[in-house]
Structure 1
Amino acid sequence: MARERATALLLDLDGVLRRFDPAVAAGVEREYGLADGVLTEIAMQWGRLQPVLTGQVNHAEWVSSVADALAEPAGGPERARAAVEQWQRYRGEVDTEVLDVVREVRAAGIKVGLATNATDLLDADLAALGLTDELDVVVNSSTLGVHKPAPEYFQAACVALATPPARVLFVDDEDWAVRGARSAGLSAHRWGGHADLRYLRAALAH
């Protein structure tokens, strides 16, 4: 049976609408004599990351815990703090081609929501990136207290969009998030880059 046509778009932030230049972290690591990839490796350890993504700790506390873990390899707590602060100052860049599609579909009357596992810094990031007025809804895991791929997360996103799950198209660059969305009844597409823009435009055409 054919699916209902989507009347709302739900987009992941990092890896879809925002991208990060890996050279920035690599440059900080070189400057402070750290191993390649160690900043992301420590920051993304699930035991450290999960509490900040669900609002149990704030962004500043999470950053502090990353610096604590880096103290020894960085040559002391002060150098570790300086390295992490320098790394965190870079907040990524908007993918302007994705933003163009967001603007097109909103102009056509389709709601667009942001669905992201994020910290309490999200609103400030969106403002700095100029995205605050480009979205109808923002669904932030740290505000909800639950993160993707939990069904409760996607249920909350559909409620925020005032759209039934079967009418929502979710786009994310992670397989586990796509599977979670499908389990919750949404249409979901795994983002593979700009080659997928044509698909999105076609899927949302009315």
Structure 2
Amino acid sequence: MVRARPTALLVDLDGVLRRWDPEVPARIEAAHGLPAGALEKTAMDWSRLLPAITGQVSHAGWMAGVAQALEAPQAVAQWQEYRGEVDPDVLGFVREVRAAGLPVAIGTNATDHLDADLAALGLTGEVDAVVNSSVVGAHKPTREFFAAACEALHRIPSQVLLVDDSDRFVRGARVVGLSAYRWNGPADLPYLRAALGLA
């Protein structure tokens, strides 16, 4: 059976549309005498992360827990001042997809700080919808998250192409019927343009 061409794009934020410079936390950790990788490791501990990305705990509450665990509130505060950078190649692709008349949504596991992040990054208004796990109350790669994404895009799953840098999220999207592509970098863009009929 030939699969229909997707007519909507669901793009991941962190690792695809937004890039993070690993040198920033490394410098902060060194300055505060923290082990290398301590900030991210502590923040991404699943018992700490899950409540934040499903709306049970605020972003501020999440970071307060990280600061308490590390006994380093100043280091965490400095780390939080850095909000990453937009990948210009991916943003250009998003604009190209929308110019072709196809809707684009950001689909991300995020906290209640997401809108502020998007504004700081200049991304407000650059997509048709934002699917935030903390608003949905379910995280990628759950069925509920992808159902909310399809609803936001006004498409059925088979019409949506997910671009994500997580193998697990790509597999989860495929299980519920989405097309999904594992992002490796801007060299993937010609393939993605062709997949959406833009080439």
Bin of the TM-score, shorter chain as denominator length = over 0.9
For structure 1, list consecutive stretches of 5 or more residues without a partner in the other structure.
72-79
Match of 1:145 among 116, 137, 141: 137
Instruction: Name the counterpart of 1:108.
Output: 100
Instruction: Name the counterpart of 2:37.
Output: 37
Match of 1:83 among 52, 64, 75: 75
Task: Tell me by how many angstroms 1:197 deviates.
Answer: 0.7
- Note the alpha carbon deviations across 1:63-85, whole angstroms, 9 max, x for none: 000000001xxxxxxxx111000
Task: Tell me by how many angstroms 1:44 deviates.
Answer: 0.3
Give the root-mean-square deviation of aligned CA atoms.
0.6
Instruction: Name the counterpart of 1:77.
Output: none
Report the secondary structure of 1:157's partner residue.
helix
Instruction: Name the counterpart of 1:182.
Output: 174
Task: Tell me by how many angstroms 1:174 deviates.
Answer: 0.3
| Amino acid paired to 1:62 | W
Tell me the TM-score normalized by structure 1: 0.95
Match of 1:123 among 115, 118, 136: 115
Instruction: Name the counterpart of 1:205.
Output: 197
Instruction: Name the counterpart of 2:185.
Output: 193
Instruction: Name the counterpart of 2:50.
Output: 50
Task: Tell me by how many angstroms 1:195 deviates.
Answer: 1.1
Bigger helix fraction: 1
Between the aligned partners of 2:33 and 2:23, the Cα distance in structure 1 is 15
| Amino acid paired to 2:41 | E
Task: Tell me by how many angstroms 1:120 deviates.
Answer: 0.3
- Note the alpha carbon deviations across 1:114-160, whole angstroms, 9 max, x for none: 00000000000001101111000100000011000001110110011
For structure 2, list consecutive stretches of 5 or more residues without a partner in the other structure.
none
Instruction: Name the counterpart of 1:167.
Output: 159
Report the secondary structure of 2:76's partner residue.
helix
| Structure 1 ranges of 4+ moved more than 3 A | none
- Note the alpha carbon deviations across 1:43-100, whole angstroms, 9 max, x for none: 00000000000000000000000000001xxxxxxxx111000001000000000000
| Amino acid paired to 2:112 | D
Between the aligned partners of 2:10 and 2:53, the Cα distance in structure 1 is 19
Between the aligned partners of 2:5 and 2:68, the Cα distance in structure 1 is 49
